[in-house]
Amino acid sequence: MEKGKFGTVNRRQFIRGLGLGAGLLTIGKIDMAQAALLPKAKRSEKFNVVVIGTGLAGMAAANAAQNAGAKVAVLEKMGEKGVGGNSALAGGLIAIPRDGSREAKEEYFEDFMKKSSGKGNAVLSRVLAEQSLDAVEWLKSLGAELTAPITVAGYRVKCVIFKPGAYKGMPKGLETLRANLTKKGGKIIYETKAKQLIMNEYGAVVGVRAEDAAGLKDYLGDAVIIASGGYGGNREMLETFVDPNADDMMVRGVKTATGDGLNMAREAGAMWVNMGGMASVHVAAVSAKNTAAGNPFMAVAYTLGINKEGKRYVDESLGYVANGKASMKQPVQTVALIFDEEIKKQPGVAASVKQFEGLGIDIVSADTISELATKIGVSATALDKTIADFNAAVKDGKALDAQPAKAAFAYKIEKPKFYAFYPLSPGITLTFGGIKTTEKAQAQEADGKVISGLYASGECAGGLYYEDYIGGASLANCLVMGRIAGQQAAAVKGSEKKNKAKKG
Ligand SMILES: Cc1cc2nc3c(=O)[nH]c(=O)nc-3n(C[C@H](O)[C@H](O)[C@H](O)COP(=O)(O)OP(=O)(O)OC[C@H]3O[C@@H](n4cnc5c(N)ncnc54)[C@H](O)[C@@H]3O)c2cc1C
């Protein structure tokens, strides 16, 4: 918010008031690609591989590089208390094929492509389908503890979760990976913000210029891995690339996810992919009481989404991202997910109820539909009609004649008590756009040429998803592509850097 002589206005109102919206947004884009050049640092230190970020992608990359014999440094702009970025507050679900069979891997690949409307990166989706099971075993070999695979309604893929379970296990899992790294000599350097990539005369990346309390320091390496997360905490980028109104949306993740790595890579010539509009973000309808963990994602498919007019607004069987995006278009952006005593027994619903209870977030309950309507602030007549129409349309687990149709998981709402996750409002979970990479995690220029010595993995790398997303896919991406980036980066030798300016 900016305060001026006209009172308090937010940046969007300010821009609109000037009638300059589009122009300023364009200027913003140009400015982001042009950073001031920093002077050469007086201090420097040499490693084989320099990693930016201590989230799951950074930790997977650093451990893999170290296991391959590299001397590794990880730069983290936060202090030890703020370590781990969005990975530290994630649900902890990692998407894997249901087993190691060819058929299961094909299903995983197909589900990824289907969820991203066929516009996700097929090459990277294939890598995840082939390698995520193995990567999970590798993670366990590093000491991380994971649950047995669970099913999330609507997906053929399964998910393992960092123990003890959803929204609880990530800090411990990441701590294990940090301990594993440092025990073997790897360095994590806190309160050190990567500012710029250092390039040699052949256009290869040979280090990172970073800033700490004492000023600038150059961390030189044969290769650099950007694993600095997304841009959900960068209001300017959200407003510019996602939607002029996106600066008003709740952001579920850390404010420090400011797209630093995307901007550094772009200055070094890398291309960005999937940076346009709402297809480039993940949105979930969550409780404002806990925007991170107050997400009944496992329940969505079984419930009925109800807006403030007492009407349904989405095919709930499409899952929690489709619901989240649809919730943005509903009156006052507030919705309820309703269910009855029978539906409450479904494992996904029971798990979400338990999750909310554990967080101390009330679940609305009522003996009658009218009472439920009153408690969720909608007309009882409207809600009665919506439920009656829906119940009449339920046939063989579908409600194809309902408005809107529900393609699966359709159960009649008829057995008291009646319940609602309410109020829920849309929040951005993660950003889908980012640095274009190859299947070896090499950063690429617009013409496909790889930037020698530069790798990107995790949320900062873009294009894997488009519009929607499979739950657990981002941590699977961090793990698989982080590990690949680490292995690849460790194999780069200083002497090879001179002739690396070739097509990838
Ligand atoms: C509430 C919530 C729940 C989620 N649940 C799941 C889930 O269950 N499953 C799933 O697959 N995905 C989930 N996601 C998405 C997933 O957590 C993220 O996409 C993923 O953790 C990103 O990991 P990362 O390693 O790429 O980046 P991050 O984990 O964000 O780590 C990036 C790190 O880089 C550091 N950094 C940034 N810039 C610099 C710089 N200039 N210099 C030095 N350091 C820097 C940051 O401080 C941070 O520590 C969830 C997201 C949220 C917000």
If phi > 0 it is left, if psi is from -120 to 50 it is alpha, else beta; for residue 72 that is beta
pLDDT tens readout for residues 449-474: 999 999 999 999 999 999 999 999 99
pLDDT of residue 494: 64
Whether 115 lines ligand 1, by a CB cut-off of 6 Å, is no
pLDDT tens readout for residues 166-208: 999 999 999 999 999 999 999 999 999 999 999 999 999 999 9
pLDDT tens readout for residues 26-62: 334 434 434 568 999 999 999 999 999 999 999 999 9
Give the position, in ligand 1's atom list, of the atom nearest the Cα of 472.
Answer: 11
Per DSSP, helices labelled H in 220-301 are 235-237, 260-267
pLDDT band with cut points at 50, 70 and 90 for residue 378: very high
Task: Tell me the angle at which helices 473-490 and 122-141 cross, rounded to the nearest 10 degrees.
Answer: 80
pLDDT tens readout for residues 424-457: 999 999 999 999 999 999 999 999 999 999 999 9
Buried b (16+ CB within 10 A) or exposed e, 321-351: bbbbbbbbebeebbbbbbbbeebbebebbeb
Nearest CA to 403 out of 395, 418, 393 is that of: 393
279/423 Cα distance (integer angstroms): 25
Whether 429 lines ligand 1, by a CB cut-off of 6 Å, is yes
Contact status, residue 411 vs residue 342, Cβ threshold 8 Å: yes
Contact status, residue 420 vs residue 349, Cβ threshold 8 Å: no
Whether 86 lines ligand 1, by a CB cut-off of 6 Å, is yes
Q: Does domain 43-232+433-499 have CATH number 3.50.50.60?
A: yes
Whether 52 lines ligand 1, by a CB cut-off of 6 Å, is yes
pLDDT of residue 32: 43
Query: 365 in helix, strand or coil?
Result: strand
Average pLDDT over residues 301-328: 97
> Pocket of ligand 1, candidates 75, 195, 474: which has the most ligand atoms within 8 Å of its Cβ, to mutate?
474
Please tell me the total number of residues recorded for the chain in this structure: 504
Give the position, in ligand 1's atom list, of the atom nearest the Cα of 264.
Answer: 41
For ligand 1, atom 48, name the residue with the nearest CA. 85
pLDDT at residue 405 is higher than 70: yes
pLDDT band with cut points at 50, 70 and 90 for residue 496: low
pLDDT tens readout for residues 67-88: 999 999 999 999 999 999 999 9
pLDDT of residue 497: 53
pLDDT of residue 4: 30
pLDDT of residue 9: 33
Cα 423 to ligand 1 centroid, rounded to whole Å? 26
Residue 499 structure tokens: 């002739």
Contact status, residue 432 vs residue 466, Cβ threshold 8 Å: yes
Give the position, in ligand 1's atom list, of the atom nearest the Cα of 228.
Answer: 34
Which has more pLDDT, 479 or 12?
479
Average pLDDT over residues 220-228: 98
Amino acid (1-letter code) at residue 223? A
pLDDT of residue 386: 98
pLDDT of residue 407: 97
For the chain, the structural domain boundaries read 43-232+433-499, 282-428
| Phi, psi for 164 (deg, rounded to 5) | -85, -5
Average pLDDT over residues 255-278: 96
Contact status, residue 430 vs residue 474, Cβ threshold 8 Å: yes
pLDDT of residue 155: 84
Cα 230 to ligand 1 centroid, rounded to whole Å? 7
Which has more pLDDT, 10 or 256?
256
Q: How many CB atoms lie within 10 A of CB 466?
A: 22
Per DSSP, helices labelled H in 8-55 are 11-18, 21-32
CA distances to 34, 272, 435 from 27, in Å: 11, 17, 21
Whether 229 lines ligand 1, by a CB cut-off of 6 Å, is yes
Residue matched to tokens 């772009």? 266
Contact status, residue 348 vs residue 153, Cβ threshold 8 Å: yes
The whole-model pTM stands at: 0.91
414/407 Cα distance (integer angstroms): 19
Cα 259 to ligand 1 centroid, rounded to whole Å? 11
For ligand 1, atom 9, name the residue with the nearest CA. 472
Is the bond into 417 cis (omega within 30 degrees of 0)?
Answer: yes
Residue matched to tokens 């082939």? 130
> Pocket of ligand 1, candidates 78, 80, 86, 217: which has the most ligand atoms within 8 Å of its Cβ, to mutate?
86
267/153 Cα distance (integer angstroms): 42
Average pLDDT over residues 376-405: 98
pLDDT of residue 25: 39
> Domain 282-428 belongs to what topology?
Flavocytochrome C3; Chain A, domain 1 (3.90.700)
120/209 Cα distance (integer angstroms): 33
Whether 224 lines ligand 1, by a CB cut-off of 6 Å, is no
pLDDT at residue 2 is higher than 50: no
Cα 104 to ligand 1 centroid, rounded to whole Å? 28
Average pLDDT over residues 205-232: 97
pLDDT of residue 244: 84
pLDDT of residue 402: 98
Q: Cβ contacts of residue 47 below 8 Å, gap of 6+?
A: 70, 71, 72, 73, 187, 219, 220, 221
pLDDT of residue 105: 98
pLDDT at residue 3 is higher than 80: no
Contact status, residue 454 vs residue 31, Cβ threshold 8 Å: no
Whether 159 lines ligand 1, by a CB cut-off of 6 Å, is no
pLDDT tens readout for residues 271-300: 999 998 999 999 999 999 999 999 999 999
Whether 84 lines ligand 1, by a CB cut-off of 6 Å, is yes
For ligand 1, atom 33, name the residue with the nearest CA. 53
pLDDT of residue 16: 33
Nearest CA to 412 out of 392, 391, 385, 426 is that of: 391
